[in-house]
Amino acid sequence: MGRTVAPAFATVAVLVGLILAVAVVNRPPPPTAAAASAGKPVKLVVLLVFDQLRGDYLDRWRDQFGDGGFKRLQDDGAWFTDSHYPYAITTTGPGHASMMTGAPPARTGIVNNEWYDRAAAAEAYCAGTPKYFLVPTPAAKTKYAGTPDRLLSPTVGDGLKAATGGRGKVVGVSLKDRSAIFPSGRQPDGAYWFDKRFVTSTHYRDGLPRWADEFNKSGLAESYFGRKWERAKPAAVYDKLVGPDDSDGEGKGTAQGRTFPHPTTGGDEKPGANYYKALTYSPFGNDLLLAFTKAAIAGEQLGRDDVPDLLTVSFSSNDLIGHAWGPDSHEVLDVTIRSDAVVADLLAHLDATVGAGRYAVILTADHGIVSIPEVAAARGNKEAKRVSAVGFVIGAEKFLREKYADPTPLDEKPTEPTKEGEEPALPKTTWIEKVSPPYVYLNHRLVKSKGLTPEAVAGELAGWVRTQAGVQAAYTHSDLKSGKVADVDEIGRKVLLSFHPDRSGDVFVVLKPYHLIGAIHTGDKLVTGTTHGSPHEYDTNAPLLVYGPGVGGGRRAEKVSPLHAAPVAASFLGIPPPTDALYGVPKTLGR
């Protein structure tokens, strides 16, 4: 099922196609039913995602893995070692929206985890609206209940439902709502995520299925309370591979501390909100999701008949751990080693329940991650810095007021945070309506009241932004809408693939490599951890492994993207790829 391209989007859509024409594999004809049945057909396709599993981890730490997990996929399946997202905003929402649509944010409309909705004068969450409610219904209403309503592109799951008359089952599970919602499509048989228990929303159903309800009542989520997170291997292994356990800039999770062992209570005396958060900031969160995945396979009878099914599983704890302790930490190495065991366990379970050779697995990640600036700087990278978000907003607002002779005084003393991870209260701005990194949204009402145009003011602001320390580039909404990106501007082409005219801001800011925005002041000890979301290689790098019937084993040097997961999954299922997919099946896959 396709969609109509709005006139305002036409120029962007045309240029997106031209950008990718020389870089992507031409889409092959959709596989026919005869071709699909020529080999041994799969009964279940599994999209396996490890949130923030940067692509280089699988090579750097390969010697630490067993034979039944990552190595099995690498050696017996296709291991694409040059896999990168082609767009700029590498965050969880866009990544998960792209995997099973095969499309970038410019087409899916999922331009970030959040963006500013001018019509509503409020922040929009990518995978939720106030229209729906959580199931089971919580005591207090939530601001956002999960839904794929903001997703503009069809998914592989949508295609499977259409091709099988609804008989092919589609299920998505994760700890995060957006990670369960987007890969599973518009109307899967179920999408489930963790909020002190596994939940769904009224977009999908009014009550949990019996198997999910029984899982919640089993008490498994509470069984990790008080259990310490210890390293899986001797500390010397970690010291050798990633350095010391305690480094400047590391966070403490949720009352878990900077060094091993990490308690799993969240500071609570009994399981409560802080405990459940600490659980997700540990490998036990992945263990819990693995158990829930097995319950879903049994409860939904996935892969049990001749109509193929689709299961999407996204493990979120890797990302939460990476944000807190950083990619060069004992914690990230440990959760990666433990993720290998999770993969081995799941593959063995699929062998036993679906049957060896009767399922296919596509493993990827939604983005990579950058080193904690303090850690990178201590190891010789002098470019690594934190950039003050407050300083940027104050500077931009002052520039616009001075540029357009606005005498309104600006309070330059934002409320400082008092604890780690707390955000400062920004000063009240008038020319800037909202900053939702990497976008700046101008106050169009004020701009027009001054007899100015948003395009002109955005151009002036972008010029100022380009002069600021730590900034690599800045692009205006009007330039991106009209496709004014030079052929030699690689960053600009990635930005264009993240741009949607109805959701993107007036100015898109790209920081230099190894720079993070968000600090109050450089070196402030309250600021810890790291993040992702840039067009730089450490953020775009995500693995792609394909395992299943007809796939030859070993490394592939072909340049690919996690967006290839959609046509590959469709090929295994014997259905056409989604209509917005940019890529076809990789040439070296052997299918």
Q: Which residues contact 344 (CB under 8 A, 6 or more apart)?
A: 66, 67, 68, 69, 72
Q: Which CATH architecture has domain 7-372+538-589?
A: 3-Layer(aba) Sandwich (3.40)
In the numeric block, which tokens belong to residue 106?
Answer: 């410019």
The 3-state secondary structure of 254-267, one letter per residue:
CCCCCCCCECCCCC
Name the packing angle between helices 454-465 and 389-403 (round to 10°).
130
Residue 7 pLDDT: 34
The 3-state secondary structure of 179-217, one letter per residue:
HHHHHHCCCCCEEEEECCCEEEECCCCCCCCHHHHHHHH
Measured in degrees and rounded to the nearest 5, phi and psi for residue 391 equal -60, -40
CA-closest candidate to residue 106, choices 525, 541, 500, 561: 500
Residue 285 pLDDT: 98
Q: Which fold has domain 385-527?
A: Gyrase A; domain 2 (3.30.1360)
In the numeric block, which tokens belong to residue 40?
Answer: 């041994």
DSSP symbols for 108-149: H---SSEEEETTTTEEEETTEETTS-EESPPSS--S-EE--T
Q: Which residues contact 454 (CB under 8 A, 6 or more apart)?
A: 442, 444, 447, 448, 477, 506
Residue 522 pLDDT: 37
* Cα–Cα separations (whole angstroms), residue 385 to 41, 87, 511, 522: 51, 23, 10, 7
514 by DSSP, 3-state: which? coil
In the numeric block, which tokens belong to residue 39?
Answer: 């080999």
pLDDT in tens, the chain (591 residues): 333 333 334 444 444 444 443 333 333 333 332 333 335 689 999 999 999 999 999 999 999 999 999 999 999 999 999 999 999 999 999 999 999 999 999 999 999 999 999 999 999 999 999 999 999 987 667 778 999 999 999 999 999 999 999 999 999 999 999 999 999 999 999 999 999 999 999 999 999 999 999 999 999 999 999 999 999 999 999 999 999 999 999 999 999 999 999 999 999 999 999 999 999 999 999 999 999 999 999 999 999 999 999 999 999 999 999 999 999 999 999 999 999 999 999 999 999 999 999 999 999 999 999 999 999 999 999 999 998 888 899 999 999 999 999 988 887 765 655 565 565 666 788 999 999 999 999 999 999 999 999 999 999 999 999 999 999 999 999 999 998 887 779 999 999 999 999 999 999 999 999 999 875 443 344 578 999 999 999 999 999 999 999 998 999 999 999 999 999 999 999 999 999 999 999 999 976
Residue 415 pLDDT: 60
**How far is Cα 71 from Cα 59, in angstroms, rounded to an integer?**
10
Measure the CA angle with vertex 128, ends 123 and 134; round to 5°. Answer: 130
> Do 119 and 202 meet the contact criterion of CB atoms below 8 Å apart?
no
How many Å from the N-terminal Cα to the C-terminal Cα in the chain? 25
In one-letter notation, the amino acid at residue 35 is A
Provide the Cα torsion 323, 325, 330, 335; round to 10°. Answer: -30
Report strand pairing: 554-560 vs 114-117: unpaired
396 by DSSP, 3-state: which? helix
User: What's the full length of the chain, in residues?
Assistant: 591
**How far is Cα 170 from Cα 32, in angstroms, rounded to an integer?**
21
**How far is Cα 363 from Cα 342, in angstroms, rounded to an integer?**
13
Residue 137 pLDDT: 81
Query: Residue 394 belongs to what H/E stretch?
Result: helix 389-403
Q: What's the burial of 120, exposed, middle or buried (CB within 10 Å: 0-12/13-18/19+)?
A: exposed
Query: Residue 245 belongs to what H/E stretch?
Result: none
> Do 511 and 517 meet the contact criterion of CB atoms below 8 Å apart?
yes
> Do 177 and 192 meet the contact criterion of CB atoms below 8 Å apart?
no
* Cα–Cα separations (whole angstroms), residue 28 to 170, 576, 585: 25, 10, 7
Distance of CA 266 to the CA centre of its chain: 25
> Do 110 and 97 meet the contact criterion of CB atoms below 8 Å apart?
yes
Establish whether domains 7-372+538-589 and 385-527 are of one fold: no
Residue 526 pLDDT: 56
**How far is Cα 565 from Cα 361, in angstroms, rounded to an integer?**
10
- Per-domain residue ranges for the chain? 7-372+538-589, 385-527
> Do 424 and 415 meet the contact criterion of CB atoms below 8 Å apart?
yes
Residue 419 pLDDT: 63
Q: What's the burial of 17, exposed, middle or buried (CB within 10 Å: 0-12/13-18/19+)?
A: exposed
Report strand pairing: 134-135 vs 128-129: unpaired
Question: Per-residue pLDDT tens for 201-223?
Answer: 999 999 999 999 999 999 999 99
**How far is Cα 283 from Cα 462, in angstroms, rounded to an integer?**
42
> Do 191 and 313 meet the contact criterion of CB atoms below 8 Å apart?
no
**How far is Cα 99 from Cα 80, in angstroms, rounded to an integer?**
15
